[in-house]
Amino acid sequence: MSTTSQLAKRFREVLLDGKWIANTNFKEQLSNITWKQATAQIDFLNTIAMLTFHIDYYIAGLVNVFEGGDLEIKDKFSFDLPPIGSQQEWENLLNKLWQDSEKFAILLEQMLDSKLDEVFVDEKYGTYLRNIDGMIEHAYYHLGQITLIKKMILLKHK
């Protein structure tokens, strides 16, 4: 199995269908959350919706580069979630995350292993491999946050 295929598998595990590392994934954690739960504020923590938007923002940004576009994302905009006022708006955000995640994985699978050692956009960002690994690690980090915030919300509203 190529390295890019292995990375795509790891990426899908955290976002869409795996249980090996965290015994859960984004899709499992978010699929049974209502828009009110997703937007519920617990103390000073980010909301589940905010973290969902944030992780998709970066995935979509890398997809754009994988497709030959520019790196257009900026950290300062990564939490600029438009207001969510309905279940449909929440589901739209989730569907965007699932679609962008699958697209990311497919493009990664199609990538040649030799691409992994190439500079990602600019030398200051390191290689493609560094950015792909970073995306997977970033996703696990926020998956942990979402899982804990979800538990807090469910306990608070029992």
Residues 70 and 88: their CA atoms lie apart, in Å, by 31
Asked if 87 and 35 count as a contact pair (C-beta separation under 8 A), the reply is yes
Question: For residue 94, what are the β-bridge partners?
Answer: none
How confident is the model at residue 148, as a pLDDT? Answer: 97
Residue-wise pLDDT tens for the chain (158 aa)? 899 999 999 999 999 999 999 999 999 999 999 999 999 999 999 999 999 999 999 999 999 999 999 999 999 999 999 999 999 999 999 999 999 999 999 999 999 999 999 999 999 999 999 999 999 999 999 999 999 999 999 998 76
Contact at 8 Å (CB) between 77 and 71? Answer: no
pLDDT at position 1 is 85
Whole-number pLDDT of residue 156? 83
pLDDT of 11 reads 98
Question: Is the dihedral angle over the CA atoms 122, 125, 126, 131 positive or is it negative?
Answer: negative
DSSP state at residue 119: B
Distance CA 35, CA 93 (A): 10
Report the C-alpha gap between 78 and 67 in whole angstroms: 20
Give me the pLDDT at residue 84, please.
98
Phi, psi of 105 (to 5 degrees): -65, -40
Question: DSSP class of residue 62?
Answer: H
